[in-house]
Structures are given as C-alpha cells and as structure tokens.
C-alpha cells in the first residue's frame, strides 16, 4: 500500500501541530497557583500569579498590595506589587531600591505578604 505525498504531508503537519500545542500549553499545566487576589486580565485565573519575567525598574505609581512569591517550577522568585490601576509588577528581589520601597509601603499601611503555593 503506497500513500500519497499529500497524505504524508498531512500526517507530518498534524504531528507538528500536535507538538506545537503540547509545548506551548505545557507551561499552563505546570503553573503554580499563588493566592493573590487580582482582576488582572493578563492571567488565566483570577487567583493565580506566576512571574516569568522580572523588572528592576521601580513603579512610579501608588502600590496597593505587595506579595513575596517563591520560586517554584517555572515561576521566578519575585516581589509582586499591585498598583492602584490593578496592574501587576513582578519585581526582581535584588533590585537596589526595593528594600526602601517596601519600608515606605509598610509605613503607609501596605504590608508585604508571604505567599504559599497551592
């Protein structure tokens, strides 16, 4: 039994599509859930956060919430700020300005909370 060239191409394309889907969706299966209350539409679920990229830039906006996130799976250790516009900022914990900013936040009644992964 000889298969047509078009049939082979279809099988190969299907296999490639399957692999592409498996590799791109795998991150969501391994995502660690942190109990961080947010309505940020950039995240899959309203109560999960996984920082995969960090910034060392200080947000120049009022911060309403602060969380310490641990490194688990593909999620990076970070400090998460949520600002007055409900935007999330994944901060590199080694940022030189961070300690002073956390101190100012606590002086203004914003306590940084240590989270636990689910």
Q: Each residue of 3-13: pLDDT tens digit?
A: 567 766 666 65
C-alpha distances out from residue 73 to 24, 56, 80, 114, Å = 16, 22, 17, 18
User: Which residues are bridge partners to 88 per DSSP?
Assistant: 82
Tens of pLDDT, residues 95-106: 999 999 999 999
The model's pTM: 0.61
């Amino acid at each position: 039994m000889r298969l047509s060239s078009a049939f082979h191409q279809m099988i190969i394309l299907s296999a490639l599509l399957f692999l592409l889907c498996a590799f791109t969706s795998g991150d969501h299966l391994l995502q660690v859930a942190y109990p961080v209350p947010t309505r940020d539409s950039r995240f899959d679920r309203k109560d999960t956060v996984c920082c995969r990229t960090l910034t060392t830039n200080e947000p120049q906006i009022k911060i309403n919430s602060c969380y310490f996130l641990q490194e688990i799976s593909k999620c990076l250790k970070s400090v998460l700020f949520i600002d007055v516009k409900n935007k999330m900022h994944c901060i590199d914990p080694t940022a030189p300005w961070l300690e002073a900013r956390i101190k100012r936040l606590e002086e203004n009644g914003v306590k940084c909370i240590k989270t636990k992964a689910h």
